[in-house]
Structure 1
Amino acid sequence: MVMVGGALSMWLVQRISALLLAVYSLFFPVWIALHWPLDFSAWRGLFMPLPIRIMTLLFVAALALHAWVGMRDIFMDYVHSFGLRLALHSAALLWLVVCVIWAGAILWRLP
């Protein structure tokens, strides 16, 4: 299988983001189990350490990138109108960027 240019980079983004998602998905339940039982203040306390905030924001960014590549491929394969495809790409990208910014704002708003 030969991939050139953008196809190879999107393939790498998909694989690297999947790896980050898998690592965090294995780590986070253990982190929760170490702090069990959880009430609201304990749940907030889970995200107080800076490394956890950074890892969580990386998880959200990796999730957005992973979703972007998947949605991009779906739009390219099934939406044949260039204008509609461009509008869908733009809307999806804007939505994902807003979600990452929102997650960052939530993580850094914690006292």
Structure 2
Amino acid sequence: INGCIYCASVHARKAAQLAKDETAVETLLAVTPGEQLSDGQTPGWQAQIDFAAAISVTPPALSVDHLAAVEQQGLDTLAQLDLLQSAAFFAWANRLMLTLGEPWQE
């Protein structure tokens, strides 16, 4: 979504570890820029990826349809709040990191 290499590498490893399913993360990382991120995923992952992607763009594009999709996949209110806050926080953090530029090289 935002081209952040750090996000793609570090968060992908953590997601694979927590989900105990490296295939879903590998599928996500294999998406060509411009394609739908959730293509090839299970319905549960599709709903969560689409939700996170919608809140990560500027301006945010999250809608009641995204909320209904994660709810339909079994995410309760607390899990939905966790998804929302996590996606929003990392969208903000990525914007900050990307505007700071490249790491200092001595």
TM range (shorter): 0.3 to 0.5
Whichever structure has more helix as a proportion of its residues is: 1
TM-score of the superposed pair, with normalisation by structure 1: 0.32
Whose RCO is larger (CA < 8 A, sep 6+)? 1
